[in-house]
Structure 1
Amino acid sequence: MKIVIAGGSGFIGQQLTELLCSEGHSVVILTRRKKPSIGQVSYINWLIEGAAPEKEIEQADAFINLAGVSINAGRWNQSHQEQIYDSRMTATDELLRIIEAMPKKPSVFINASAIGRYPASLDHVYTEASTDLANDFLARTVADWEKKAQKAEKYSIRTVFVRFGVVLGNRGGALPLMVLPYKLLLGGTVGSGKQWVSWIHVKDVVRSILFALEHDNVRGPVNITAPSPIRMEQFGQTIGHVLQRPHWFPVPSFIMKIVLGRKSALVLEGQQVIPEVLMKEGFEFMYPSLHVALEDLLLKQ
């Protein structure tokens, strides 16, 4: 397949590109900084003056939208929240414009999303069938993002919303910061410790995106999480066990709120999310348990 990726230079995008190429696909990455083609990967300018990527993209089979300012970088002040929101809306609008201009439409459009749309809860279990929507910044951003991306369906394009959980990897994401206190012998429970962490190994993230590309039955929301969510206290204990470091230095909620501000909700609150669609469609996780995932990420470097 010929696959167009927006956000291909990011944490997930880089590893997705590697996987797609290893499977024999060709990848077109939309970028503001054009580079020479390398093997199966080519680069096309977009979102800059004079760029008209639709004139260079021909016979594309799929579009994948991972573009947007990272929610992990920086403090969630008003300016950063506007950047997070606007970058996603702008990128998705441009992808829809490109698709509309293409004589031959792609068969599938996969749009990034997040489990942050579900309300925080200590006892509720969420699947793709859950319609509950949290009343906060991240949930509103996700809801608007999915609503905009859904416009691809008017072109008879199979549209998938991949709702990422807490993605664990060495090149980015949340894990390096979560592991650092343990390496300094300061690891411990964050907040109450009862909040859920619906995590997933980055290799299973990109494999699940490939799975969605290749399976026509997959459409609409898809939770991209491991089948075994875990509470924050057990998450930290597992890090300590894998690294053979103590888990004893608690971090109270008020400290996280002082340090992270509104973004502290990402670690102090959580949802128990199950990847029901992937499980029903027969997706096989390489890392179904946290201990196995952390051993791979922390001990096999």
Structure 2
Amino acid sequence: MRVLLTGGTGFIGKELLKYFTTYEVTLLTRSPLKAKEMVSHADMGNITYLSDLNKLSDLNEFDAVVNLAGEPIADKRWTKKQKEIICHSRWKITETIVELIHASTSPPSVFISGSAVGYYGDQQEHPFDEGLHTHQQNFPHQVCAKWEEIANRARSDSTRVCILRTGVVLGVEGGALKKMMLPYKLGLGGAIGSGDQYIPWIHLLDMVRGIIYLLTTEHAYGEFNLCAPHPVTNKHFSQTLAKLLKKPHLLSTPKWLLKIAMGESAVLLFDSLRAKPKKLTELGFHFSYSRIEPAMKNLLQHAD
């Protein structure tokens, strides 16, 4: 399979490349030399590095496109400028890919494009799946809704489109768990606010396996929640992490304090998303880690 991959040097992309060694991969990156170093663990001589999509006039040479590019949404405070960067980094590259697909006489048969469960907004304690249609005013929904709308323009009889509504991806090399490890190891871990908000988590291995499953399942299309079947509350999540690290779980961080520190982006911590991966499981996908404790145990075995 010939795959065009964006976001290949990111947290998920680097792991995905480990499973792409039998594919011919073209990796879009602003810095090919830096990218070669970052993905050397997965480059079996099957990766070509592309610095600009504008060097392509169409995508006839590709069987698939996996679009994971985007400025991290949680790393910086949401100033007006940062919001523009977050949006532009997702929307523009997706628009360009769609234009190239439309320009192709033999387009890729599948286009897999990123999104997030933040699309749904705060759903409190109510479980939901991809059948939930919602219109929210908050920033995560606005980012995801337009991102998905752009990606879906590529859909045709020749190209199926799969949208990845990704949850909180757990791994030791990046993402939320890596950020949490130090304070928890120091015994400073605890719930955020009331701790009652649901976290739609997914083990990094299942995230990658899910992408490959959608890539190779020819009748898969539409929006998919990429999260484990059993979301847990923030309190349950933090108690489990503290327990496995054999550390106390005594502290909690007040909501008002995080709102001051993070501003609008605090919704990422307090929106409750009890998302279920109904479409993925109905297709026949089986999660390696459907429960939080075994997932964390596995990850902590490989942590420093």
Normalized against structure 1, the TM-score is what?
A: 0.93
Corresponding position of 2:292: 290
Corresponding position of 1:126: 128
Unaligned runs of 5+ in 2: 37-42
1:178 Cα offset (Å): 2.3
The correspondence for 1:41, drawn from 40, 47, 69, is 47
Distance 1:154 1:25 in 2: 24
Decide whether the 8 Å contact of 1:72 with 1:173 is kept in 2.
Answer: no
Distance 2:61 2:80 in 1: 41
3-state SS of paired residue (1:75)? coil
User: Which letter does structure 2 place at the counterpart of 1:20?
Assistant: F
3-state SS of paired residue (1:260)? helix
Decide whether the 8 Å contact of 2:172 with 2:302 is kept in 1.
Answer: no
Decide whether the 8 Å contact of 1:45 with 1:53 is kept in 2.
Answer: no
Corresponding position of 1:260: 262
User: Which letter does structure 2 place at the counterpart of 1:30?
Assistant: L
User: Which letter does structure 1 place at the counterpart of 2:197?
Assistant: Q
Unaligned runs of 5+ in 1: none
1:38 Cα offset (Å): 5.3
Q: How many residues align?
A: 295
User: Which letter does structure 2 place at the counterpart of 1:143?
Assistant: A
Corresponding position of 1:102: 104
Corresponding position of 1:273: 275
Corresponding position of 2:62: 60
Decide whether the 8 Å contact of 1:165 with 1:198 is kept in 2.
Answer: yes
Decide whether the 8 Å contact of 1:105 with 1:155 is kept in 2.
Answer: no
Distance 1:76 1:188 in 2: 25
The correspondence for 1:201, drawn from 203, 212, 236, is 203
Where does 1:16-27 land on structure 2 (aligned, <5 Å)? 16-21=16-21, 24-27=22-25
Answer with 227-236 or 73-82: which moved more: 73-82
3-state SS of paired residue (1:42)? strand
Decide whether the 8 Å contact of 2:3 with 2:62 is kept in 1.
Answer: yes
Distance 2:113 2:79 in 1: 25
Deviations 1:40-71 (A, max 9, x none): 11111215xxx41347x653110011111110
Where does 1:119-268 land on structure 2 (aligned, <5 Å)? 119-154=121-156, 156-268=158-270
Deviations 1:219-249 (A, max 9, x none): 1000000001000101100001111111111
Distance 2:138 2:256 in 1: 19
Corresponding position of 2:8: 8
Distance 1:119 1:133 in 2: 9
Distance 2:271 2:25 in 1: 37
1:155 Cα offset (Å): 6.4
User: Which letter does structure 2 place at the counterpart of 1:287?
Assistant: Y
User: Which letter does structure 2 place at the counterpart of 1:289?
Assistant: R
